[in-house]
Each structure stands twice: as structure tokens, then as C-alpha cells.
Amino acid sequence: MKISIFGLGYVGAVSAGCLTNDGHEVIGVDPNQTKVNLINNGQTPIIEKDIGEIIEKSVNNGGLRATTSVEEAVRATEMSLICVGTPSQANGSLDLSYVRRVCEQIGTVLRDKTEFHLVVIRSTILPGTMLNVVIPTLEEYSGKTAGLDFGVCNNPEFLREGTAVYDFYNPPKTVIGEIDAQSGDMLARIYEKLDAPLIRTDVATAEMVKYTDNVWHALKVGFANEIGTICKSLGIDGHKTMDIFCQDTKLNLSPYYLKPGFAFGGSCLPKDVRALTYKGRTLDLELPILNSILPCNDHHIDRGLKMIMATGHKRVGILGLSFKAGTDDLRESPIVEVTERLLGKGYDLRIYDRNVQLATLTGANRDYILNHIPHISSLMVDHMEQVLDHGDTVVVGNGAKEFREVPDRMRDGQVMVDLVRISDARSQGGRYEGICW
């Protein structure tokens, strides 16, 4: 395939060299004449393991060259990868001037180009940039329609400095955000030799995936450093602790706990976070990430409460009172907190949870419900139908299997607030509201 790559910085140079190495014909484009000259002389404009040898071989074989001419590059290729920078501005927002300028230039050339051309954004951009900046700019300057007269995709990169060539050929995944199947098919062909999951999705999700990845990586670094800080203060080897932590691939390093939903609760997580942050305070340690966990959880409870109140209904039915399905544990259950706040605001409630029946509760849970929330126990009913009949708003508070039938049993005028994604539906602005979807 004939490919033009805009921006010969880190991502652009690595992409240019590796794609040429795979047999594609590549033209690199950059306004910096020095970078263009380096490429044309078989030299790399960046310092990165193996890329120098790849670029030298690619140029010598005639598969790679560079130019400052946008028109020359677009007319000679069928696909353009935009790899220009998106630096931070003083307020934290992105400077999109380079992306916008390249889209203007490419769009101008596309105005008179008759062959189908695919424009792919590899630059890191926030969700909404494709639909609000990239596509409108290309359409304005080309006078054509995206998805019909030319193609557009978002294709975030997952290259780490120092191992970028290895990462290009061994990516954790390849993500293609597309607005039409033809564009996605065309882009997927350049990655067909890679042994990695290929995910095709909408452009906004593709944009968000890149940020989710990078912020998660940043959070992991900060988390490990704070655990290490506590360990050092206690005379413990932080590396040994984290090495053991990382051996757990069932819970710690896994998809578990990484699905958006409601707040955490139960007898372990709140108590143990509270205890460890208390220990940090006794050691006079600054632990901003760990100290933010419980306030973050409280904010999510507030969010759920506001969603319920926003329905405008005073008659509310709650399905699930324990902190998760399959248990009767009410200790620090976020649904209990929501229930108490609704009661305090004068809401008329009915509650059903098969596992939380006063007659079957023993030990700590029996004591909890009798001595801490007796006002809630009086609102509990024996059958799910009683909640559905009562509530103008029905709140699903845990993922019990029997609640999966609730969406099909809602009557006209009822609103469902789903805190656990019991349904695959998306928020509909009235009849169904999911807390994170």
C-alpha cells in the first residue's frame, strides 16, 4: 500500500520505518527540512533502538522517502497517517493547531483528487476531536463528505519510548475507530500480519481508549510509589511486596474490578483503605492517591443519589441492598447509604433483597440491621413484584440474576436507574439511566 505519514517525530518516524519494512511504500511529510533531509539520507531523526537501521535499509531499498510537500505526498498515496504533536497548553488542554493545519492541507488536496483516500489520526486526541475538529475541517477544505468521498479513522498508537520498534510489531492491541466499514477495512490491511487483537469500534471510543490506557499507567506508577513509601517507612522491601502483589493475575492484574459501576462497600475494602491511610498519617507520609480513594467512593455514591433524585419521583423501589450480589453483607454497603439519604429526604421506599431477610440474618449482619438500620428493615418486602408495583423509579443496586428480567417488566412511565449494568442498554434520557453508560 502507498502511505503518507505526516509528522516525522517519534511516532511518525517509527511508523514510517516499520511500515516500509513491512513492504509498503511510504512518504514522510514534515515542514522541518532538516528531518526531511535526514530521512532522505537514510538517517533517523529520533533516537530509538533499531529504527536507524530500519530507516537506512528502507531508504536504500527505495521504499521510504520524505518531502515537505503535502500535495506531492497525498497525490502519490492512498492513505495518510497523521502523527503530529498535540502538546499541552498552560491550562492542560491540548494544542490542536498542528492537527487542524494538517487536516486543512490534506483537505485542500483532496478537493481535486478523484481516487478514494483514507485519512488516519494517530496523534493522541481527546474524545470528540474526530467529530468536532478533524472531520469538519477535512470536509470544509475538501468540499467532500467523510465516509462517502473519503475515509476517516482514528488509530491510537501504543508505543513506548525505548521499545517502540518492538511495540510496533508486538502491540497489546490494535484499535481502529471508524465511521464506515470501507475505511476500517482499508486500515486493517496494514496490520494483518500482527499477532495482536484487532478491535474495531467507533471513533470516540478509540479516542478514549488511548487516554484510559495512559492514565491507568500513570495511576499504577503513583500507586506503586505510595505503597513503596509506606513500606520504606516500616522497614519493608517495597519491591518484594509488589512482586508478590503482581503474582496475582486473577484479581490484581486482571479485568476484575475494572468495570464501571457503583461504589465499593463490604467489610473489607473500606475498612482496609481507612486503616492503611491512617497508618500513613501516623508516619507523617503524603499519600495523595491512597488518601483520595474513599473520597472518590463517596463522590460516586453522591452521583448515584443525584441520578435517582433527578427522575422527579418520590416513590422509589430498590432492588438489592447488600453491597454485591450473592451475599447478605450490609456493612458499608453503598446502597444502604443511598437508602438512608433518600429516607432523610422524605422518599417513599420499598426494598427487596432475597439474601437480606431479617429472619435468616445472624451474627454481625443481624446486629447491624437491628441496631443500626431498623428503620430500613421495616421497608423491606418479600417479593420483587412488590418493589416493581410500588416504585415510579426502580433502582437496581446489585447484580442478582433475578434482576435481569426487570427491564422487560417496567411499566409505562417508570424509570430504571441501573447502578450495576443489569441491562446492556445505554442511558436513554428518561426511561433508563445507567450510572456510567
Q: What is the pLDDT of residue 310?
A: 96
Of 44, 9, 8, 46, give the one whose Cα is nearest residue 29: 8
Q: Distance of CA 339 to CAs 98, 327, 343, 378, Å? A: 51, 18, 6, 12
Q: What is the pLDDT of residue 267?
A: 85
Cα separation, 104 vs 151, whole angstroms: 15
Instruction: Please answer whether residues 324 and 357 qualify as being in contact, where contact means their C-beta atoms are separated by less than 8 angstroms.
Output: no
Matching residue, cell 429472619: 359
Instruction: Please answer whether residues 174 and 197 qualify as being in contact, where contact means their C-beta atoms are separated by less than 8 angstroms.
Output: yes
Of 125, 46, 50, 139, give the one whose Cα is nearest residue 84: 125
Secondary structure (DSSP) of 118-166: EEEE-S---TTHIIIIIHHHHHHHH-S-BTTTBEEEE----PPTTSHHH
Mark whether 436 is an active-site residue.
no
Q: What is the pLDDT of residue 359?
A: 47
Q: What is the pLDDT of residue 61?
A: 96
Which entry of 83, 103, 268, 436 is annotated as an active-site residue?
Answer: 268
- Burial label for 29, CB within 10 Å (0-12, 13-18, 19+), is buried
pTM attached to this predicted model: 0.90
Secondary structure (DSSP) of 285-297: ---HHHHHHHHHH
Q: What is the pLDDT of residue 361?
A: 63
Mean pLDDT by 10 residues, the chain (437 residues): 97 97 97 97 95 97 98 98 96 96 98 97 97 98 98 96 95 97 98 96 98 97 98 98 98 96 94 97 98 98 97 97 89 93 97 79 71 85 96 96 94 96 84 94
